[in-house]
Amino acid sequence: MSQSKKLTSHPAKKRFAAVFDSFMPIFATIAALLVGAIFLLLLDANPITAYSALLEGAFGSFNAFAETLVKAIPLLLVGLGTCIAYRGSVTNIGGEGQMIVGALLSTWIGLSFTNLPGWLMITIAMLAGILGGAVWGGLPGVLKAYFNVNEILSTVMMNAIAVQIMNYMLRGPMIDPVQAEAASQIPQTARLEMAYRLPRLVPTRLHIGLLIAIILAVMVYVLLWRTTLGYRIRAVGQNQSAAKYGGIDVKKHIVLALLLSGAFAGLAGMMQVYGVNYRMITDGSATGFTGNAGFNGIVAALFGQLHPLITIPASILFGGLLVGANSMQRIVQVPSALITALNGLVVVFVVSSEYFRRRSQRKRIAFIESEDEGKPPKERSEGLGEAAS
């Protein structure tokens, strides 16, 4: 008790504790990188050489950094959706499927109408991507809200269904006419018209999607903390029965949280096609199209403490890890899969670090309570997304 008294009686120290807490994800990442260093040593690679190759590959040159930003775009968009969903206490792990459906719908429209002005088609395609993702995320939302179906499961199932739809469409109805004729039968669509491609920002592969994603991040921040809708989503996320008692339609907001979350992933899928590949191609797996962005976006958002603005640098960091992994692979001959493993560790460490944050928070709350009401300190504050069931 005396320790927490000291902690709160000095504002500076209190602030330090809060700052310390907000750095938890960074400590967690450093911990993951240290474990990674051990793996590197076991694999006969020098961790310092490896990590500097990684840094160099991600941020070392103008082109490298542009490539990092390209990779960060889908992570940021999926991450923004994650912020909304997890703030509303729904666990959306259907980012992969939502990206695929958003991409399929927007690609289909782009290939169907070939002589619209570029800006018009890009707008329509973005809406199509958003719509596709929203449907693919909204359906699990409806199932959760009105039929009590666990959304973790339904989103996983929807991922698997989306992959099969993609494989079918790219092998059948949407196949590139050239491939349909050829013996190779590569399951891919035709290329989009030149005019339909997202404009590039600088003479690299970096496209305008970055600006759009950053603007959306600000909008998500405003949505969550400056609008009634956002307030309600968060209220439902924090305490369903209290929200219900306060007159909020809990079911509706569960659906909205998942639907919005899916919409962002759908847009990410659209941008992969219109901004990067200009066509869809499948190797039969979800990862083949998304590059695991549907999962890595969650990692970025968690790292950004489910705050849309912090998710921006977090996405750039993880985009950098993904790009840097390739040059690390080249230089120290360690497969880039190491980075996937490390991303997993980052997630594990970040969610674990919540424990320490809660503990120090509890100490502070306990102090305030005991001072204000003379009650014994025992309340614990809830962590994020507690109600995953």
Partner 1 sequence: MIKDLFTATVIIGIISSGIRLATPYLYAAIGEMFGQRSGVLNLGVEGQMLLGAFVAYFVVLRTESLLLAILAAIGVGALMGLAMGFVTIQLQATQGIAGIGFYLFGMGMSNLLFQKLIGVVENIDGFSAIKIPLLGDIPVIGEIFFRQNLLVYLAFLLVPLAWFVLNKTTLGLKIRAVGENPEAADSLGVNVALVRYFTVTLGGILSSIAGASLSVALLNVFQQNMTAGQGFIAVALVYFGSWRPFGILAGALLFSMVNALQLWIQVLGIPIPSELAVMLPYILTILVLTLSLTKGKGPSALTKAFEREG
Binding footprint of partner 1 on the chain (CB under 8 A): 39, 43, 91, 93, 143, 147-150, 152-154, 156-161, 164-165, 167-168, 171-172, 285, 287, 292, 295, 298-299, 302, 334-335, 337-348, 351-352, 354-355, 358, 378, 380, 383-389
Among 42, 67, 78, 26, CA closest to 290: 78
Q: Please give the Cα distance from 65 to 84 (Å, whole number).
A: 28
CB distance 37 to 45 below 8 Å: no
- The SS3 of residue 169 is helix
We find the least distance from the C-beta atom of residue 334 to partner 1, in angstroms, to be 7
Any idea what DSSP says for residue 276? I
Q: How far is the CB of 231 from partner 1 (least distance, A)?
A: 23
What is the smallest separation between the CB atom of 387 and partner 1, expressed in angstroms?
8
CB of 318 to partner 1, least distance (A): 12
Instruction: Give whichever of 172 and 199 is closer to partner 1, judged by the CB atom.
Output: 172
What is the largest distance, in Å, between two alpha-carbon atoms of the chain?
81
- Residue placing its CB nearer to partner 1 in the complex, 126 or 155: 155
Q: Are 306 and 82 in contact (CB under 8 A)?
A: yes
Residue among 84, 123, 130, 129 at smallest CA distance from 103? 129
Q: Min. distance of Cβ 7 from partner 1 in angstroms?
A: 21
Of 172 and 246, nearer to partner 1 (C-beta) is 172
CA 231, 346, 216, 293 torsion: positive or negative? negative
Q: Which is nearer to partner 1, 69 or 145 (CB)?
A: 145
Q: CB nearer to partner 1: give 247 or 376.
A: 376
Residue 281's φ and ψ, nearest 5 degrees, are: -140, 145
Question: What SS3 state is found at 97?
Answer: helix
Which one, 188 or 292, has the nearer CB to partner 1?
292
Task: Compare residues 81 and 275 and give the one whose CB is closer to partner 1.
Answer: 81
Residue 203 amino acid letter: P
In sequence order, what are the residues at sequence separation of 6 or more whose Cβ sits closer than 8 angstroms to the Cβ of residue 386? Answer: 89
CB of 288 to partner 1, least distance (A): 10
Shortest distance (Å) from residue 252 CB to partner 1: 19
